[in-house]
A and B are shown apart, each in its own frame.
Chain A
Amino acid sequence: MPAMAETPHYPGEFVLRGAEVLDRSGRRRADVVVRDGLIAAVGDALSAPLVLDAGGCIITPGLVDLNAGVGQPGFEETESVHSAARAAALGGFTTIVARADTNPVIDCAAMVKEIVALGADAACRVLPAATVTVGAKGERLSPLAELAALGVRFFADDGRGIPDARLLRRALEYGAALGVVIVQFAEEPSLAAGGEMHEGMWSSLLGIAGIPSEAEEVVVMRDLALARLTGGHLHFRTLSTAASWAMVAGARRRGLQVSAEAALHHLLLSDSACAEFDPATKFRPPLRPEDDCRALQAALAAGEIDCLVSDHTPHSVQDKEVPFGEAAVGASGLEWLVALALSELTLVDARDGGDRAAIPVGLAELIGALSWKPAALIDPAHRGLIERGAVADLTVIDPTATWVLDPRLGASRSRSTPFAGRALRGRVRHTIVRGVPVVIDAVAER
């Protein structure tokens, strides 16, 4: 009987049939056979004991979100490792990196093990990030080596950043030999203090205290110099301005080990979205002017954005049913990210109408920033190929499915999103994690 109970209800071997494969090497017609957690074969007219229909779909290497708040421990009424992982899997993510800005924060081995244990039977792979400093207080370094040995790759004092240049220097120096990534939340506290939205035309009209672009840019400027000084791997959280991305691109051309992520909302919404005082439009960094949105779209189209993230930040309803100035920052995003990006940024096929991006993003560039590029930041050996022998982390996207974003139907416990009601085109149909279909026909199996 125990053996029966433990028998997985998913098939050990199946074929994804009828789709196109899109990976680092390009796009082509192919079926994919998955067996025992690995890709067993890729080719034409393959068969297996079970067929998962993928007709008209695109199969990509599993999507990866480097910036997802899971609310656990400390904010379980808004999210849990399991609910976030389910939302992520429904959104096509096979791996998420859980932010460490929990309560208490993830800054010691016991906490890391706790998240790993919670994630063991979650719908997708959940990798814990940890804080750079003990308690994220910006005073002493967390035990980076001990945590790295437990598999932590990203260290971030989220929501606060590391304002102290000397401390950031030490973290980069100490972390360089460990192969870890030091993540900076780029916001100069003295320039951002009290700010609730981007400082500019809209904040002036609306009478809301602003956060200038320069609050981000002065930190990027300074920390690129520290990356040069130390040789450590510096990664910037959700850079939101054109100038920030230009500086990162320049630093990379000079050979610095620097990466950065963009949050989808910074590509899709400008600060004018705050004009109705909807707390769902309150983010940190704040939504920037239209020019910055366009610049980020162009950077994504040009393949200059290392990774696109959800910046999934769960909140309870009461944290958002308050005046704009008192509202918590951030929104729920894991479940809809790829559909929103496909709908608003790409030209998958000939369509008309809708708010198209000025510069349509190629599907390969979009999926690259959601899949093999962030995967390579987690594991530099990751090849980003759908090939025989690779771990079967796969996302199957139906690019023509139409639906409407209704946060009440989401798997996340958090419902706040500025995109509620948007008509979407493109939907995750199946998500395969380590060879297990955790989402079949847009329904979570876990």
Chain B
Amino acid sequence: MKHLLGIAGMSRESLDELLVLTDSFAEINARAIPKVPALRGKTVATLFFEDSTRTRLSFETAAKRLSADTLSFSVSSSSVKKGESLRDTALTLEAMRIDAVVVRHGSSGAPWQLARWLDCSVLNAGDGWHEHPTQALLDAFTLRQRFGSLDGLRVAIVGDIKHSRVARSNVWAFTALGAEVVLVAPRTLLPPSLEGWPVQMSEDLDAVLPTVDVVYLLRMQLERQNEALVPTLREYTARFGLTVDRAARLADRAVVLHPGPMNRGVEIAPEVADLERCLVLDQVANGVSVRMAVLFKLLAGADGSTASEELDRAGNG
């Protein structure tokens, strides 16, 4: 595995392998000194064309806990603003002999293009509306932590699926791992076609809620109202928001996930966000472990040793 570009097309086995690896790093993260020398001498660059402090910090924390050096390419103050092409930016980074580039880009597919131009590993930290694979892995890990397995779970993904890279990655991750997915959104917020998507769909959140183990809420942005995709955010909340009343109708064991940052009062009521069943902070914590696992998987063992040998050394280090 050289790159992590997207979840679509990944096998259950390779997803499981990453989740099992994540267990080891979750254990390391629980230690007093959560740092191992596994990637000492490696350099990881973050290249974010869209601001996302949370995701960037999560990747940089993961890299540092593996003892990799990190460098952060800030697009807003860089030559990209001066018209440098994506390819030139990437080649410049590579000339600094980095081992991996973590890229966030507003244009779907940008990490695929980078992977064609670069010899180093490319990690997709979110591309357009397309994929956000480490988010899906951390969500799957969070559910696995809670339920032991995703097999047989029924997951409702609620909200702006059309514009959501999180939803696109999660549909593939959840279904590959054995869960059943139902998309809940008005037609205007669904992709134009669901051909080839292994999902059910519904516009009736109230009917779906009692049947699911997981409610995955997506961030609802104000601009969707201006694009005539929903009449008002108020009406959106009335139909698709997880209000206190709706949360009360969830099954006892059901949990609520959200990729953050939450719009309290829009897709989720403030009281619901603070419930024990809302696992948002678990997701954030697991994000670091998952990203450690991915970086380790892509970068360790390049000298010929196997991942498990490396990890043994890492665990003892």
Residues of A within 8 A of B (CB): 199-201, 203-210, 212, 276-277, 318, 321-326
User: Is A201 touching B193 in the complex (CB atoms < 8 A)?
Assistant: yes
Question: For residue A199, which residues in chain B have a CB less than 8 angstroms away from its CB?
Answer: 192-193
CB 8 Å contact bits of B103-119 with A (1 = contact, 0 = none):
00111111011000000
Contacts A212-B192, A277-B109; is A207 near B85 (CB within 8 Å)? Answer: no
> B168 within 8 Å of A by Cβ?
yes
Contact A277 B112 (CB under 8 A): yes
Known: A318-B85, A322-B85, A322-B86. A206 touches B108 (CB 8 A): yes
Size bin of chain B's contact surface: 20 to 34
Beta-carbon contact of A323 and B105 below 8 Å? yes
Q: Is the CB of B85 within 8 A of A208?
A: no
Q: Within residues 257 to 307 of chain B, which ones have a CB less than 8 A from any CB in chain A?
A: none
Report which of A200, A209, A212, A323 forms a contact with B109, defined as CB distance below 8 A: A323
Closest CB in chain B relative to A292 CB, distance in Å: 15
CB of B108 within 8 A of CB of A321, answer no
Q: Are A207 and B108 in contact (CB under 8 A)?
A: yes
Q: Which residue of A lies closest to B191 (CB)?
A: A204
B197 CB to closest chain A CB (Å) equals 8
Asked if A321 and B194 make an inter-chain contact with CB atoms under 8 angstroms apart, the answer reads no
Query: Once the chains are docked, how many angstroms separate the CA of A260 from the CA of B222?
Result: 42
Interface pairs (15), CB distance under 8 Å: A201-B196, A204-B192, A206-B109, A207-B129, A207-B131, A208-B130, A210-B192, A277-B108, A277-B112, A322-B85, A323-B105, A323-B107, A323-B108, A324-B108, A324-B110
The reply to whether the CB of B315 lies closer than 8 angstroms to some CB of chain A is no
Most chain B beta carbons < 10 A, residue from A210, A322, A323, A325: A323
The answer to whether A325 touches B128 (Cβ under 8 A) is yes
By beta carbon, the residue of chain A nearest B165 is A207
| Residues A206 and B192 in contact in the complex (CB < 8 Å), given A277-B109, A324-B109 | no
B20-40: CB near A (< 8 Å → 1, else 0) gives: 000000000000000000000
- B193 and A325: CB pair below 8 A? no
Cα(A325)–Cα(B113), bound, Å: 12
Whether B13 sits at the interface, judged by CB under 8 Å, is no
Q: Is the CB of A200 within 8 A of B107?
A: no
For residues 194 through 216 of chain B, which have their beta carbon under 8 Å from a beta carbon of chain A? 194-197
CA distance A210 to B190 in the complex (A): 13
Q: A201-B196, A207-B165, A208-B108 are in contact. Are A323 and B191 (CB under 8 A)?
A: no
Give me 4 other A-B pairs in contact (C-beta within 8 A), A207-B130, A208-B130, A210-B192 excluded. Answer: A201-B196, A205-B197, A207-B131, A323-B113
B251 in the interface (beta carbon within 8 A): no
Once A201-B196, A207-B129, A277-B113 are accepted as A-B contacts, the answer to whether A325 and B191 lie under 8 Å apart by CB is: no
Contact B128 A207, beta carbon cutoff 8 Å? yes
Inter-chain contact B108/A204, CB cutoff 8 Å: no
Residues of B within 8 A of A209 (CB): 129
A200 to B195, CA, bound (A): 9
- Bits for B162-174, please: 1 = Cβ < 8 Å to A, else 0: 0001001000000
**B144: CB under 8 A from chain A?**
no
User: Quick check: B107 and A326 within 8 Å, CB to CB?
Assistant: yes
Q: Which residues of B contact A212 (CB under 8 A)?
A: 192
B195 touches A201 (CB 8 A): yes
**Which residues in A have their C-beta under 8 angstroms from that of B238?**
none
The interface residues of chain B lying within 8 Å CB-to-CB of A325 are 106-109, 128
B146 within 8 Å of A (CB atoms): no
Tell me whether B192 and A323 are in contact (CB under 8 A). no
Which residues of chain B come closer than 8 Å to A205, judged between CB atoms? 8, 168, 191, 196-197
Q: Is B234 interfacial (CB 8 A cutoff)?
A: no
B313 on the A face (CB < 8 A)? no
Residues of A within 8 A of B112 (CB): 276-277
CB-CB under 8 A from A318, the residues of chain B are 85
Nearest-CB distance from B227 to chain A (Å)? 9
A281 to chain B, nearest CB (A): 11
Q: Which residues of B contact A203 (CB under 8 A)?
A: 191-193
Q: Nearest residue in B to A202 (C-beta to C-beta)?
A: B193
Interface membership of B87, Cβ < 8 A: yes
**Chain A, Cβ-Cβ closest to B90:** A321
Contacts of A321 in B (CB 8 A): 85-88
B146-182 vs A, CB cutoff 8 Å, 1 = contact: the mask equals 0000000000000000000100100000000000000
For the complex, what is the distance from the CA of A318 to the CA of B84, rounded to whole Å? 9
In Å, the complex CA distance between A321 and B88 comes to 9
A324 nearest CB neighbor, chain B only: B109
